[in-house]
Homo-oligomer: A and B are copies of this chain.
Amino acid sequence: MAEEQENVIYVGNKPPMNYVLAAITQLNSGANKVAIKARGRAISRAVDVAEIVRRRFVTDAKIEDVKIFTEELTNEEGNKVNVSCIEIYLAR
């Protein structure tokens, strides 16, 4: 459980290469698996990150699984909003 947490990259609004570097570092430091996670508009960027890692840098890595689901969040006004999420599992 604790180990699983360490191998997660949360993709936000920074340039894709920041997350690519984080994922490569994970995959090259003993972890043979990394989960790339994102919500909302960052989902497209998460797919970019996974594809760049797999095609350009860690070419023996495969996309093991892709999960999509919805999370219910509470926004600043106290309203509940549904946000789409993605989890991409890369393994070498």
Contact = CB atoms under 8 A, between A and B. Distances in A.
A17 interface: no
Interface in A52-67: 55, 63, 66-67
B68 A88 contact: yes
Report, as a range, how many residues of chain A touch the other chain.
20 to 34
A47 B68 contact: yes
11 contacts: A40-B44, A43-B44, A43-B47, A44-B44, A47-B68, A47-B85, A50-B68, A51-B69, A51-B70, A66-B68, A68-B88
Interface of A: 40-44, 47-48, 50-51, 55, 63, 66-70, 82, 84-86, 88
